[in-house]
Structure 1
Amino acid sequence: MRTYWLEEFGDIEKLAVREVSMPEPGANQILVRVRATSLNRRDTMILNGTYPLTPRVGIVPLSDGAGEVVAVGDGVRRFAVGDRVTGSYFARWIDGRMHPGIVDQLGCTLDGMLGEYALLDEQWAVRLPDHLSWQEAATFTCAGLTAWSALTGAEVPKPGQWVLVIGSGGVALFALQFAKLMGCRVAAVTSRAEKADRLLALGADLVIASVETPEWGMKLREATGGIDLVVETGGPATFRQSLIASTLYGRIVLLTVQDKSGKSVEIPGAVYQRSLVTIGRLFVGSRNGLEAMLAAVATHRLKPIVDKIFPFAEARAAYRHFDQGDVFGKVVIEGA
């Protein structure tokens, strides 16, 4: 079978295709015919050698993928041949709190999904909703669960409260969609004015183009009375304005701590000393969280936003397209 692997780290030329023997599932394992995969920011960081968790040399990349079970090993109880499945980002994190013993990730320390087939422990996988195409189903593992976890954490926003999303990447658009399902009002900030109509069509109640209004924080605060929850994916470029936009007791879920150049988020003391905003972090989520999110997706028949689909043979082009940054939704790679 054909599979991609990272023979080294540093640039796109290190992403190579190789022929390997078809794996056979051992005890408690399932063999998945991969029908589609998708990219996340962490995948470009792993490729470039800038990801905080050290990847394994020779790793099969990508945490996000969807396919059907074609064989099962002895002792498998959770799945049968023909089941539609996706993998869980932190493969060993079933529930509860994260700890160092369960940090292994698909596509980083464990082989991921960018191949014709993927061999997974049955505990690493979850079932997919039936209404999703393969391309759609391949988008939820990282960005979808991150957005879901941001909205369903310690303090869930109430219907009518304001949620702020930044940009038009996978996490931002999933957060917009999930927030609307929860009855929240959504403000969106985009660097491209031409994306405003698309964000409004997805349900955003208010859209601001930062290129036209660079100091958008106070404008948002005045228009909304203060943002209750910020899903902060912009990092150093947007954090100050997110803090200004927040209501007195607002919450900011800080997902991007550094930009591509290595610049880190800084807390502006003059702004923060006038605020009681809670700033929190999260790491994607557990398998139980993924199952809960997909149950909501199935109930509401929610569809993700796909930016562009690439053939399996053009995985490098998919990486390049994703890395240039001007995407609206998820970048998907077809199965082989």
Structure 2
Amino acid sequence: MTIPHPNIPSHQRAAIRHGTGTTSTTTIETIPVHPPGPGQILLKITWTGLCGSDKSLLRDEWTDFGLTMTPKAQGIAGHEGVGTVVAIGPGMENRWKIGERAGVKWIASTCGECEFCLTGTDEVNCVNQVNSGFSAPGTFQEYCLADGRYASRIPDGVADEEAGPMMCGGVTVYVACKRSNVKAGQWIVLPGAGGGLGHLAIQFARAMGMRVIAIDTGEEKRELCQRLGAEVFIDFQQTPDVGAEIIKITKYGAHGIIVTAATKAVYAAAPRYLRPNGTLVAVGLPKDASILAGAPPILMALKKLNVVGSIVGSLKDVEEALDFTARGIVHPVLTKGKLEDLDSWVEKMANGQLAGRVVLQVAS
């Protein structure tokens, strides 16, 4: 039996994509609100983050990789949504209560039956996963259905607008920090440190005891990175040889580097910032399929470098990342907007005009 909230409307507002490629746009339209089925909950979305992946899906930037928004998404992107439970589907009555807060992530649901799900720690690679804004309607709508097993519970002390970016951007760099294998007291390099992912990576790295070298440009980015805990800031436009500067600071090179900037130049330079046995973590997803993460084989072999990829995180990883915010250790720097202005925010993101993470108010 579905447990509803008495004030759920029959229709809602949603940002629907029209067109394809870089000329695609979204319009606010009225669509039905669907009740939750077995295993589902219905959320009234208050805030949703705008992630770089949303831009890539809305503008078909990953077609070279065979990734485009599927018809099942119904043109509704978004995967960093947070809201209030307003209806509970059959089977979820003992897990959720009306009025509790929950978050919707890139991974909307997993099968729980494949080899990766059954390991208990690696469901991120579930072969039957459903993804918000890609193969299911996302969070750019007022009311969003969510898998009650896989929605994230939002802890006290974390505002909805802060929790949204943690559903993807925050947990992505948190897991990347873990996959870097950099220990407390060791050096990690963060190119693009003043950006949406980078500024969160600084905070997680510092919380784990790492020594942070932030790379970006401009006094505004310098002030932000140093305020968030970067020990060293390198302005790449003012520094003739960034690699030499890193060697000067670290003696043998950094122990790890997290590449969030999805550019060919950064991926090409990153391995040379590392010391022997160092680890490069590939996080940024370029739309150019010719860009590779790695180094010439002779450099890889002589320095015994590690190159690993990292994408979002497990349900447990999200819980851990949210706990850093609940304890006041990690806070996203937010730029706030409205769902109605989605296209203008996507354009600003495409032009590199945004600082920190963008969150859009969906419902009050």
1:172 aligns with 2:171: no
* Aligned equivalents of 1:212, 1:330: Cα separation in 2: 26
CA distance in 1, matches of 2:321, 2:176: 12
Corresponding residue for residue 163 of structure 2: 137
1:89 to 1:282, Cα distance in 2 relative to 1, 3 A = same
2: CA distance, partners of 1:71 / 1:117: 10
Q: Deviations over 1:308-330 (max 9, x none)?
A: 21122111111112221132210
Question: 1:301 offset after TM fit, Å?
Answer: 4.8
Q: Give structure 1 stretches of 5+ with no counterpart.
A: none
Please name the residue that 2:358 is paired with.
331
Equivalent-residue separation in structure 2 for 1:266 and 1:128 (angstroms): 35
Q: Give the corresponding residue for 2:69.
A: 55
- Give 2:250's match in structure 1, choosing from 224, 231, 245: 224
* 2:188 alignment partner AA: V
3-state SS, counterpart of residue 130 of structure 2: coil
Residue identity matched to 1:32: L
1:250 match? 278
Q: Deviations over 1:154-173 (max 9, x none)?
A: x6422111111111222211
- Map 1:79-158 onto structure 2 (within 5 A): 79-93=96-110, 95-97=120-122, 98-99=124-125, 101-153=127-179, 156-158=181-183
CA distance in 1, matches of 2:177, 2:40: 32
Instruction: Provide the secondary structure at the position in 2 that maps to 1:102.
Output: coil
Task: Show CA shifts across 1:215-243 (max 9, x none).
Answer: 30121122123211111122421123321
Q: SS of the counterpart of 2:32? A: coil
Distance 1:238 1:13, change over 3 A: closer
Correspondence 1:16 to 2:27:
yes
Aligned counterpart for 1:45 among listed residues 56, 59, 82: 56
**Deviation string, structure 1 residues 237-283 (Cα, Å, up to 9, x no partner):** 1123321211111111012353x555513644264454221011122
* Identical-residue share of aligned pairs (%): 25
Q: What TM-score do you get using the length of structure 2 for normalisation? A: 0.85
Write the letter of the residue equivalent to 2:51: N
Moved more, 31-40 or 161-170: 161-170
Partner of 1:30: 41
The one-letter amino acid paired with 1:79 is W
Which ranges of structure 2 fall in alignment gaps of 5 or more residues?
Answer: 1-11, 111-116
- Greater mean alpha carbon deviation, residues 270-279 or residues 141-150: 270-279
Q: 1:296 aligns with which of 310, 313, 324?
A: 324
Q: Which residue of 1 aligns with 2:309?
A: 281
- Paired position in structure 2 for 1:319: 346
RMSD: 2.1
In the alignment, what sits opposite 2:7? none
- Could you tell me which of 265, 271, 286 is aligned with 2:292? 265
SS in 1 for 2:48: strand
Distance in 2, matches of 1:13 and 1:290, equals 31
Q: Which segments of structure 1 move beyond 4 Å, counting only runs of 4 or more?
A: 260-263
Distance apart, 1:27 and its partner CA: 1.9
